[in-house]
Structure 1
Amino acid sequence: MRRSIVVALALLALSLLFVGGPSLLFSPTTDEIAPEEQEETPELVAMEDSESEFWKYLSPQEQFQERSPLNVIVRGDTDDILYAMTEESDGEWEEIEEVEEEYEGNETPIANETPVGNGTFLEEESRHATGIEWGEAHGTTRYFWVDPGAGEDGYWTTESGQLEEGDYYGQRYHIRLYESPNGDDQWVAMQAHTEHFDWFTLRHRVDGVEAAQTKVEQDFMDHTRIDVEEDVRRIYLGNTNSSDSDGWATVVDLTGMILLPIGVGLAAKRRTGANSASAGQQTDPQHVSERTPEAIDDRLTDVDRRRIAAAYDRLEAGHLILVFTILALLLGVRLAGVALERNVGFLTPHMIAALLYPVIGLGIPIATYLIAGTLRSRLDAAVVASGSLAVAIWLDYGLLGVDSLPVDVVVQRMLVVIALGLIAAGAAKRATRDTRVNDMLLAGAAMWVVVLGGTLLGYF
């Protein structure tokens, strides 16, 4: 029993050190602002020469919850706006069969199909004119409050369409688009954000809105028919009570432009990160010499050398196998999800999740149990398993470029790290001398099931 307590405390300390600590120190939005809910209709936003008004947030329910701040508004005909965002760079389009589905009311075809002429649809072959491959997206419904004006009542509406750039199972830029209730008002409101797919929760996690707003803004600024000084500006909406929004929305004016009849050939500008600064850095030779193995060895005391020798003697091949197995399983799911999404078109997002999630939910704990069963020490098995999972989690976030985590995600990751460590400790040889089933194994398995199951059911 005393050894079990020691293992549990060690795992708690390790999870705090390698998961909780870095998250709290380096995640700028770890303490997300709780959304406010209003019962009455709040102040609405109106555009120039427009009768209709709209609320400056989106909501997950038909209630005034300040959750997703609107950050892009484009003035102009809806078809022109969509064409500007999805047309092919060289103006060459491949004709396909006429689409039979008719769009009624305020529904507008979004994605890689553009209406021309008498209703025939053309499908784009490559990227669109401004350099970003905006394609049709799937995502959870968000509600938008609009007031048509002219004595009509306001109402909640769902998105007219969704666009994305990136990978569904990796990280992507995601845009929801909402049309004006009056065709003559000529505006489309957008909510753009960056998000990544969380394999432990099977849902997308929003990382922020500022980077996505800048990307959409730059995308329109790259269009050769847009005068940056005249047609692009920012207005202050004050919707700062969510994510990293600064309250400013981009307004792009396409009114007066006729984009549909002409395939506009534009040069797609690729923006890459600047790496030249780091390439030119030089290292002080004196500092290099101070970090050589000989210099480090000279500073070790006899006690340090004995401790290193003891740790080396405890090292088993199973430790390394366990490390690489956990890393391979978690990172392999991320890479496999992206690969299937890109290359296997008949698989829906739900199918891919059904194929790969068992690797995390069942594969990681089972593999840990089997490999840890070859190790002697309970503490060693626990530390190696939980430490490997923590490293795999941070490598995964590093591949995605995620630098901010909400508190609930941090806590959930700490719990799964502790749970896997307990499973490994309970499987070690010294823990199974009397029976294969022991308190640490049961506690770890129960925690793993409760945390993952509770997450999928929405309790965490």
Structure 2
Amino acid sequence: MRRSLVVAAALLALSALFVGGPSLLFSPATEDVAPDETEVTPRMTALEDSESEFWRFLSPAERFQQRSPLNVIVRGDTDDILRAMTEEADGEWEEMEAVEAEYEDNETVFQEQDFLEEHDRHATGIEWGDAHGTTRYAYVDPGTGEDAYWTTESAQLEDGDYYGQRYHIRLYESPHPDDQWVVMQGHTEHFDWFTLRHRVDGVEAAQTKIESDFMEHPRVDVEQDVRRVYLGNEGPSDANGWATVVDLTGMVVLPAGVGLAARKRSRSAGSAVSEQRDSERVSEHAPEAIDDHLTDVDRRRIAAAYDRIEAGHIILFFTILALFLGVRMGGLLFERRVGFMTPHMIAAALYPVIAVGIPVATYAIAGTLTRRLDAAIVAAGSLAVAIWLDYGLLGVDSLPVDVVFQRMLVVVALGLIAGGAAKRATRDSRFNDMLIAGITMWVVVLGGTLLGYF
């Protein structure tokens, strides 16, 4: 029992240091990212030359909960806006030629043709694709004596990967076509394999992306057609209360669609080269500097730790790493290559690898190891590394506190399973207190996560 408490304390220290510490240092507090569940009295927003109004938030139910702040407003015909964001120019060139003939004196039309040809027949690179996502409700008031009502999205668009990270947009059109507006809620999100749901990372990056793409459209005058207005809906996520307004009402909309770009963020080549050179200079001198500060006692301790390493430790570490990251890569592979699989089918196929495969593999491999503490530290450390690598691949740089806490618990639980499976822990019974505590903790944490308690 005493040894089990020592292992548990070591695992708590490891999870706090390598999962909780960095996360709590750089991540926002829960209240900064969690939506406000309190119902409020709606404050409606009206646009110029429009009788209808809309509430500045979306809600997961037909209640006034300030959940998802609207952050983009596009003035123009709804069909033209959706066509511009989703359709390729391919197959429309004969119609474009007819438009050119009709507007043969309009230099702007020919400028757009040149622009499309240079960008593979898209105004800014690629078109947004149809998206799947949970329904969110917008509250609109027709403003003509009719009652205000809740409405669902007119469309959902995305750029990115469902099982990775993506830009996600929900669009809501005005109650009257003559009002000519579409409001959007754009955000970045990633798929969380522990909850089997998307987790929103923020709204500012998506708003900036949509705004920038419209600004690159050859028919948009940046100074006249794009501006920001204050809606006062800051609070949820990283929303600052300002919404982008794009005016397309004065444009001649060609039949050929115009896509919005969603280019991947990249680091400059010069910066990468500079960092590489710096790291090379550091690596040249690091061994000598470290060795100079080591005492004989330090060297003996390092040698003793090295002697404790078994082949099973390495196998255990990389097995957990491969299983965890393999689920992420497998989801992306199925999404891109296996067209008949729905999102629910993919989740059903891969989630058991996390829920069952990782603890079972950990138990089997740790059973070949001798020391409980070593097995526990290797398993917990491997899962912690896998979690950080996963977030690094997705580009996630902030986590709410509840997510950090959940990740710390699963790291500790897996470490207890590994420690309880080691040879010295199973001398009296294979079902020892450490193993039972680890399995119970793993089941409770994963079950609570799926049910929304974490």
TM-score by structure 2 length? 0.89
Of all paired residues, the percent bearing the same amino acid is: 76
Cα displacement (A) at 1:280: 3.7
1:186 aligns with 2:187: no
Pick from 215, 218, 221: which aligns with 2:209?
A: 215
Q: Compared with structure 1, are the counterparts of its residues 167 and 270 closer, same or farther at alpha carbon in structure 2 (3 Å cutoff)?
A: closer
In 1, Cα distance between equivalents of 2:38 and 2:367: 55
Q: Which residue of 2 aligns with 1:3?
A: 3
Q: Compared with structure 1, are the counterparts of its residues 339 and 23 closer, same or farther at alpha carbon in structure 2 (3 Å cutoff)?
A: same
Q: Which residue of 2 aligns with 1:242?
A: 236
**3-state secondary structure, aligned to 1:328:** helix
Q: Which residue of 2 aligns with 1:315?
A: 309
Q: Which residue of 1 aligns with 2:379?
A: 385
Cα displacement (A) at 1:87: 2.7
Pick from 247, 269, 273: which aligns with 1:279?
A: 273
Q: Compared with structure 1, are the counterparts of its residues 14 and 73 closer, same or farther at alpha carbon in structure 2 (3 Å cutoff)?
A: same
Superposition map of 1:359-374 within 5 A: 359-374=353-368
Q: Compared with structure 1, are the counterparts of its residues 238 and 359 closer, same or farther at alpha carbon in structure 2 (3 Å cutoff)?
A: same
Pick from 381, 396, 401: which aligns with 1:402?
A: 396
1:17 aligns with 2:17: yes
Aligned AA for 1:290?
H
Q: Which residue of 2 aligns with 1:79?
A: 79
1:290 aligns with 2:285: yes
Q: Which residue of 1 aligns with 2:45?
A: 45
Pick from 297, 318, 323: which aligns with 1:324?
A: 318
> Given that residues 195 and 206 in structure 1 are in contact (C-alpha distance below 8 angstroms), is that contact kept between their aligned partners in structure 2?
yes
In 2, Cα distance between equivalents of 1:248 and 1:332: 39
Cα displacement (A) at 1:366: 0.2
**3-state secondary structure, aligned to 1:303:** helix
> Given that residues 83 and 257 in structure 2 are in contact (C-alpha distance below 8 angstroms), is that contact kept between their aligned partners in structure 1?
no
Pick from 284, 294, 306: which aligns with 1:300?
A: 294
Superposition map of 1:79-118 within 5 A: 79-89=79-89, 92=92
**3-state secondary structure, aligned to 2:139:** strand
Matched residue count: 428
Cα displacement (A) at 1:84: 1.4
Cα displacement (A) at 1:266: 8.7
> Given that residues 89 and 267 in structure 1 are in contact (C-alpha distance below 8 angstroms), is that contact kept between their aligned partners in structure 2?
no
In 2, Cα distance between equivalents of 1:406 and 1:85: 32
Cα displacement (A) at 1:259: 1.8
Please give the root-mean-square deviation of Cα atoms over the aligned residues, in Å.
2.3
**3-state secondary structure, aligned to 1:65:** coil
Pick from 335, 340, 362: which aligns with 1:341?
A: 335
In 2, Cα distance between equivalents of 1:284 and 1:420: 34
Cα displacement (A) at 1:227: 1.1
1:54 aligns with 2:54: yes
Q: Which residue of 2 aligns with 1:64?
A: 64
Q: Which 10-residue stretch deviates more, 268-277 or 364-373?
A: 268-277
Question: What CA deviation, in whole Å up to 9, does each residue of 1:201-224 have, x standing for no partner?
Answer: 101000000100011111111111
> Given that residues 169 and 186 in structure 2 are in contact (C-alpha distance below 8 angstroms), is that contact kept between their aligned partners in structure 1?
yes
**3-state secondary structure, aligned to 1:205:** strand
Aligned AA for 1:87?
E
Question: What CA deviation, in whole Å up to 9, does each residue of 1:272-316 have, x standing for no partner?
Answer: 52232232455499855531x234222210110111011011100
TM-score by structure 1 length? 0.88
Q: Which 10-residue stretch deviates more, 274-283 or 60-69?
A: 274-283
> Given that residues 86 and 128 in structure 1 are in contact (C-alpha distance below 8 angstroms), is that contact kept between their aligned partners in structure 2?
no
Q: Which residue of 2 aligns with 1:252?
A: 246
Aligned AA for 1:46?
A
1:174 aligns with 2:201: no
> Given that residues 79 and 260 in structure 1 are in contact (C-alpha distance below 8 angstroms), is that contact kept between their aligned partners in structure 2?
no
In 2, Cα distance between equivalents of 1:326 and 1:251: 47
**3-state secondary structure, aligned to 2:414:** helix
Structure with greater helix percent:
2
Q: Which residue of 2 aligns with 1:137?
A: 131
Stretches of structure 2 lacking an aligned partner (at least 5 in a row):
96-119
> Given that residues 130 and 158 in structure 2 are in contact (C-alpha distance below 8 angstroms), is that contact kept between their aligned partners in structure 1?
yes
> Given that residues 90 and 265 in structure 1 are in contact (C-alpha distance below 8 angstroms), is that contact kept between their aligned partners in structure 2?
no
**3-state secondary structure, aligned to 2:42:** coil
**3-state secondary structure, aligned to 2:159:** strand
> Given that residues 128 and 260 in structure 2 are in contact (C-alpha distance below 8 angstroms), is that contact kept between their aligned partners in structure 1?
no
Q: Compared with structure 1, are the counterparts of its residues 295 and 404 closer, same or farther at alpha carbon in structure 2 (3 Å cutoff)?
A: closer
Cα displacement (A) at 1:91: 6.0
> Given that residues 190 and 394 in structure 2 are in contact (C-alpha distance below 8 angstroms), is that contact kept between their aligned partners in structure 1?
yes
In 1, Cα distance between equivalents of 2:3 and 2:94: 69
Q: Compared with structure 1, are the counterparts of its residues 269 and 413 closer, same or farther at alpha carbon in structure 2 (3 Å cutoff)?
A: closer
1:451 aligns with 2:445: yes
Q: Compared with structure 1, are the counterparts of its residues 48 and 332 closer, same or farther at alpha carbon in structure 2 (3 Å cutoff)?
A: same
Cα displacement (A) at 1:156: 1.0
Cα displacement (A) at 1:458: 2.2
Question: What CA deviation, in whole Å up to 9, does each residue of 1:356-414 have, x standing for no partner?
Answer: 00100000000000000000000000000001000000000000000011111111111
Stretches of structure 1 lacking an aligned partner (at least 5 in a row):
96-125
